[in-house]
Structure 1
């Protein structure tokens, strides 16, 4: 006990040093842990959105012929087919809206941009379709205003500048005939 009384100043100094070094270290560890947890949440959202899109694709492929994958308006649809196609497009727009709300940021770089690009590409491909782009204003009428504006602008851009793949497919089709 006598030793502790004689060295109380040393112990007090050590306690102060531990507090001075330990507190910032604890804050650093906490911030690092929160950042990692946020990255895990973002990854989980991205994975869930991707799974939802694949569920949409599976749903459309198993639907009783709503011709959702038919890109041209020259097919004859019954009113039931039109209703099914509308419902599928509503589901798709809802999924796109969730992706936009959780993933879109105009200034994103790095991982965020890499996660967003596939969504934008998919949205652009759907917007290049005559049926989808024709119905889009009604489909996004009650959605998030920023999302609706983004989709309509994306649709205009997709219609103005067709993708190279469409040109390649048309050229290949013309060579076959």
Structure 2
């Protein structure tokens, strides 16, 4: 075998072995990058929710951290602040829905989404939040609106059964 044949054989070997290996490595890196991107999105959304909870704490007179909505007569200013806070929350939920939710999710995405659905359900158990939904959902993403409305109906059904 001369030098030319050796190089030719090596080029075939690289093509047969190296090219598929390079493709596999590329695909694995792409998957890893997608996972990192998803986790970064989830972390940013979690940070925003934590900031939202700080806002709720700063407005403790609205009693938004109680499981049951407060049976207090609010002033007009308090009603306006409460509606604004609910609007911020709906916006955050919509952003989470747009960035994380998929019809068919892999295990990791499903795990991340489940925590957001839990947050939504927790707020939807509040009668005052559910009552504000028609106003809050005006102009929101249609798929998100349908999704959160289904959750609201389910939570309302649970509330009625519990009573």
With normalisation by structure 1, the TM-score equals 0.83
Quick one: distance in 1 between partners of 2:122 and 2:130?
10
Match of 1:155 in 2: 152
Shift in CA distance, 119/6, structure 1 to aligned 2, threshold 3 Å: closer
Tell me the secondary structure at the aligned position of residue 161 of structure 1: helix
From 126, 130, 135, the equivalent of 2:132 is 135
Number of aligned positions between the proteins: 162
RCO higher in structure (CA 8 A, sep ≥6): 2
From 9, 14, 39, the equivalent of 2:10 is 14
Moved over 4 A (4+): none
**Offset of residue 163 of structure 1:** 10
**Offset of residue 64 of structure 1:** 6.3
Shift in CA distance, 110/24, structure 1 to aligned 2, threshold 3 Å: same
Quick one: distance in 2 between partners of 1:66 and 1:129?
13
Quick one: distance in 1 between partners of 2:151 and 2:143?
12
With normalisation by structure 2, the TM-score equals 0.89
- Within a 5 Å distance, the mapping from 1:3-152 to structure 2 comes to 6-63=2-59, 65-70=61-66, 71-72=68-69, 74-152=71-149
Paired residues of 1:127 and 1:158 also in contact (CA < 8 A): yes
Quick one: distance in 1 between partners of 2:98 and 2:15?
42
**Offset of residue 65 of structure 1:** 2.4
Quick one: distance in 1 between partners of 2:92 and 2:155?
19
Quick one: distance in 1 between partners of 2:117 and 2:98?
13
Tell me the secondary structure at the aligned position of residue 141 of structure 1: coil
Structure 1 range deviating more: 134-143 or 64-73: 64-73
Quick one: distance in 1 between partners of 2:49 and 2:60?
19
Q: Which ranges in structure 1 are unaligned for 5 or more consecutive residues? A: 171-177
Match of 1:173 in 2: none
